[in-house]
Amino acid sequence: MKRGSATSVILRAVAMSAGAIWLPTAMGQVSTSVTIKVATPILYAQNAATATMPATGLGLGTSVYANQWGNSALPGLIAGSGTQMLRYPGGSYSDIYNWSLGTANDGGYAASNSNIGNYFKVLDGSGTQGIITVNYGSNTTNTMGAPPQEAAAEVAYADSSASIYGTASDVTLGSDAAGVNWQTAGFWAKLRASTPAQYQTWATAAGDYNPAYSFLAINHPAPENINYWEIGNEIGGNGYSGVQWEYDLHAPYNNGNTNDNTGRKGNPLLSPTAYAQNLNQFATLMKQVDPNIKIGAGFNAAPNDAGDKAILQTAGNNIDFGIIHWYPGGTLPGTVTTGSGSLPTEINNLRTSVQNNTTKGYNGIQVTVTEFAYSASNATPIQNSLFAADAYATGFENGVVNMDFQEMSSGQYLGDGPLKQGEVYYAMQMVHDYAGAGGTFVATSYSDSSIRIHAEKRADGSLALLLINDGSATNNSQDRNLTISLTGGSKYLSSGELYLFGANNIGSTDTPPSLQTLTNLGSTFSVTVPQSSMEVVILEPVLAGDFNRDGHVDAADILPMMAALANPAAFQAAHTGLSNADLMAIEDVNGDTKFNNADLQYLLNKFKLGGGQTDSVPEPSTLVLAVVAFGMWWWRCRYYLGQKQRRLAAVAVPTTR
């Protein structure tokens, strides 16, 4: 998808025969051969599943301490990065934030406008989906761990219909151990749907009015339909194992000192088993409110991890997705994909643990990475950007359904002062340009350890490549001249698009990727990827008979084909960027190297036999065939009348192209 801010220039591309891979190498360049196996999908989960791009994949962490929730520019900027999902209300802040009061325990800071109602407004304005981490660590009175009723009420506020209030379909939530009355699911849904004045009226009449909840009356009748719900954040940091950073009042702190681990290490109330037992209660009540939600739990994702084992054995049946937090700091690009802390390794560790400790199997739960960032202390901005792009693509190739960069208020994304796009913001934009939802990731082959190559065959038949020249490994000061060979039989137009983002885009104000045009493409072509940069290459398919250019050959192509027959020059003018060879590849349906009425008849015959050239080609309906028959009669009449007039005028007219 083109962006209005992109500039258009011409980038040299060398078209070559499939067998010829020699290229002249410029000073400071390294030539590398890359094969894109278009017909070979990437398989994950022990080769049991095909890697496709999820609609929830490109995620971003947010936090209630961010000061920009009320900024009117925020939703549009989030949408501009291609973000698909926003996590709320934070990482460790999830275990201190009281969503129903808009306050934070343990001295935490909740910024103005950071409440859940404004979160919904940002979701709506940016066109993103939500993932919420419910408070597990502390209740609204800051006296004990959070109760299941609080989480269930949050589900109701997000997902329930106001129409159930006061009916037999309403779900009673009741009071928690601290005496807080969590009312019913319908109460919270009707609160969301009301204005503050409306809430005061009906809640007062029912004897349930609490002015502390007035800020939640946001006049939002439609449910927000949040599907993914995490139970707490990083429970392994609550002190049970001897280290603590996560606030957890399921056991008291010594003299209230959260830095004191006395009485917490090994305390069974803080154990993974206790967490799992509580998760079962959370899941049961939350799914009574909305049976369609998914419940997630955090895991260490280490080999044979005892905590992960206890959680899965106790609560595995109630866990729909597993959560990994990933902050590698090794050398790029290897730290993403190789070694014990690499992303594929941790994903495999989690899936293996699920297989060994539940009846669900290796791929029995979805995998999410709800926090990730590059943690190398000396990382440069462009390295942060290249890491993020590679991490997203690698996660999707390994079946991750959601990856959330940490975080929105980081200067790498938008910052928390005046909003300004940072290097990871543009990395997400590049990944969005690369990975179309529903597309299939396909195999690549290359031997250069300084580059990372990803490829996706999109649902519309186009091919997208993500080419990363990290600049941190061997030959890190050199450009990469890539000779790219496409195998698998698919054909693409001789011109394509290329987005470029690199070190030259980084400055006091980062600049967006540039849009460039590739020309003279073939089954093998070359592009140069400058050092410390990444490129997205998009190749549009050539599909014989696809006259409306939607990536499919079906009855909808017949009328555009007839128009092309009547006026070939007008058809070419309406599809700028198509070479004569591209046009002939589309028009020559019957393979006789000409474009005439025989191609139309050939296509109609294929449809009558139920054939086609796409995954799903519907047979034309009787009405469509009747319209086509009339159209053909009309066209022939015009054609032969025109021929007669031309002969009378002694004008020679070619009948084929």
DSSP annotation string for 380-412: -HHHHHHHHHHHHHHHHHTTEEEEEES-TTSTT
| Neighbouring residues of 605: CB distance < 8 A, sequence distance ≥ 6 | none
Query: Shortest CA distance to 322 belongs to which of 351, 296, 348, 293?
Result: 296
Handedness of CA 16, 21, 24, 27 (dihedral sign): positive
pLDDT tier, 274 (very low <50, low <70, confident <90, very high otherwise): very high
Reply yes or no on whether the pLDDT at 619 is more than 70.
no
Q: What is the phi-psi region of residue 536: left when phi exceeds 0, alpha when psi lies from -120 to 50, beta otherwise?
A: beta
Terminal Cα distance for the chain, rounded: 32
More confident position, 575 or 24 = 575
Query: Shortest CA distance to 185 belongs to which of 287, 294, 95?
Result: 287
More confident position, 610 or 654 = 610
Question: What is the per-residue DSSP string for 600-628?
Answer: HHHHHHHHHTT--SSS--PPPPHHHHHHH
Reply yes or no on whether the pLDDT at 595 is more than 80.
yes
The per-residue pLDDT for range 104-141, each reduced to its tens digit, is 999 999 999 999 999 999 999 999 999 999 999 999 99
d(CA 189, CA 175): 18
Task: Please state, rounded to an integer, the average pLDDT across all residues of the chain.
Answer: 88
d(CA 65, CA 408): 11
pLDDT tier, 315 (very low <50, low <70, confident <90, very high otherwise): very high
Reply yes or no on whether the pLDDT at 626 is more than 50.
no
What percent of the chain has a predicted confidence (pLDDT) above 90? 74
pLDDT tier, 610 (very low <50, low <70, confident <90, very high otherwise): low
Identify the pLDDT of residue 452: 97
Identify the pLDDT of residue 478: 86
Reply yes or no on whether the pLDDT at 649 is more than 50.
no
d(CA 184, CA 190): 10
The per-residue pLDDT for range 585-594, each reduced to its tens digit, is 888 888 888 8
Tokens read off for 131: 């993932």
pLDDT tier, 612 (very low <50, low <70, confident <90, very high otherwise): low
DSSP strand E in 319-378: where?
321-326, 366-372
Q: Please tell me the number of Cα atoms within 13 Å of 342 on its side-chain side.
A: 16
Query: Shortest CA distance to 4 belongs to which of 429, 306, 461, 311?
Result: 429
Reply yes or no on whether the pLDDT at 37 is more than 50.
yes
Identify the pLDDT of residue 244: 94
Identify the pLDDT of residue 312: 98
Tokens read off for 115: 């409440």
pLDDT, average across residues 94-106: 98
Burial class of residue 237 (count of CB atoms within 10 Å of its CB; 0-12, 13-18, 19+) = middle
| Neighbouring residues of 581: CB distance < 8 A, sequence distance ≥ 6 | 494
H or E stretch including 454? strand 451-457
d(CA 406, CA 507): 21
Reply yes or no on whether the pLDDT at 385 is more than 60.
yes
Reply yes or no on whether the pLDDT at 75 is more than 80.
yes
Identify the pLDDT of residue 550: 79
Buried b or exposed e, range 141-152, using 16+ CB within 10 angstroms: eeebbbbbbbbb
Identify the pLDDT of residue 577: 66
Q: Which residues are bridge partners to 445 per DSSP?
A: 35
d(CA 367, CA 387): 20
- Give the β-pairing of 514-518 and 492-502: antiparallel
Reply yes or no on whether the pLDDT at 512 is more than 90.
yes
Identify the pLDDT of residue 472: 57
Beta carbons of 451 and 390 less than 8 angstroms apart: no
Identify the pLDDT of residue 4: 33
Reply yes or no on whether the pLDDT at 228 is more than 90.
yes
Reply yes or no on whether the pLDDT at 542 is more than 90.
no
d(CA 454, CA 37): 11
Say which amino acid occupies 70.
G
Say which amino acid occupies 303.
P
pLDDT, average across residues 396-423: 97
Identify the pLDDT of residue 19: 29
Reply yes or no on whether the pLDDT at 635 is more than 50.
no
Tokens read off for 339: 């070694």
Reply yes or no on whether the pLDDT at 321 is more than 90.
yes
Identify the pLDDT of residue 124: 98
Tokens read off for 363: 């791929």
- Give the β-pairing of 228-231 and 294-298: parallel
The per-residue pLDDT for range 287-312, each reduced to its tens digit, is 999 999 999 999 999 999 999 999 99
Identify the pLDDT of residue 616: 36
d(CA 94, CA 88): 8
238-242, 368-372, 473-477, 610-614: segment of lowest average pLDDT: 473-477
| Neighbouring residues of 569: CB distance < 8 A, sequence distance ≥ 6 | none
* Strand order through the sheet with 29-41: 8-11, 514-518, 492-502, 533-541, 463-469, 451-457, 440-445, 29-41, 479-487, 524-529
d(CA 82, CA 74): 13
Identify the pLDDT of residue 599: 87
Identify the pLDDT of residue 576: 67
Identify the pLDDT of residue 317: 97
d(CA 482, CA 480): 6
Identify the pLDDT of residue 622: 46
Identify the pLDDT of residue 358: 97
More confident position, 264 or 647 = 264
d(CA 374, CA 386): 10
Reply yes or no on whether the pLDDT at 151 is more than 80.
yes
Q: Is the peptide bond before 397 cis (omega within 30 degrees of 0)?
A: no
The per-residue pLDDT for range 336-367, each reduced to its tens digit, is 999 999 999 999 999 999 999 999 999 999 99
The CA R_g of the chain, rounded to the nearest whole Å, is: 29
Residue reference for tokens 């979805």: 366
Beta carbons of 95 and 232 less than 8 angstroms apart: yes
What's phi and psi for 44, nearest 5 deg? -130, -175
Identify the pLDDT of residue 643: 45
What's phi and psi for 610, nearest 5 deg? 80, 15
Reply yes or no on whether the pLDDT at 153 is more than 60.
yes
Query: Shortest CA distance to 174 belongs to which of 150, 206, 210, 154?
Result: 150
d(CA 53, CA 399): 8
The per-residue pLDDT for range 548-565, each reduced to its tens digit, is 887 788 888 899 889 889
pLDDT, average across residues 36-58: 96
Domains and CATH numbers, the chain: 8-42+440-541 (2.60.40.1180), 54-81+97-197+224-292+303-371+383-421 (3.20.20), 555-648 (no CATH)
Tokens read off for 348: 């495999």
d(CA 487, CA 191): 57
Residue reference for tokens 């009540």: 285
Burial class of residue 344 (count of CB atoms within 10 Å of its CB; 0-12, 13-18, 19+) = middle
Query: Shortest CA distance to 121 belongs to which of 78, 181, 152?
Result: 78
What's phi and psi for 235, nearest 5 deg? -60, -25
Identify the pLDDT of residue 477: 62
Tokens read off for 437: 């939802």
Three-class secondary structure assignment of 42-62:
CEECCCCEECECCCCCEEEEC
Residue reference for tokens 């950073």: 245
Q: Is the peptide bond before 89 cis (omega within 30 degrees of 0)?
A: yes
Q: Which residues are bridge partners to 5 per DSSP?
A: none
d(CA 286, CA 149): 8
Kindly report the number of other CB atoms within 10 A of residue 167's CB atom.
Answer: 9
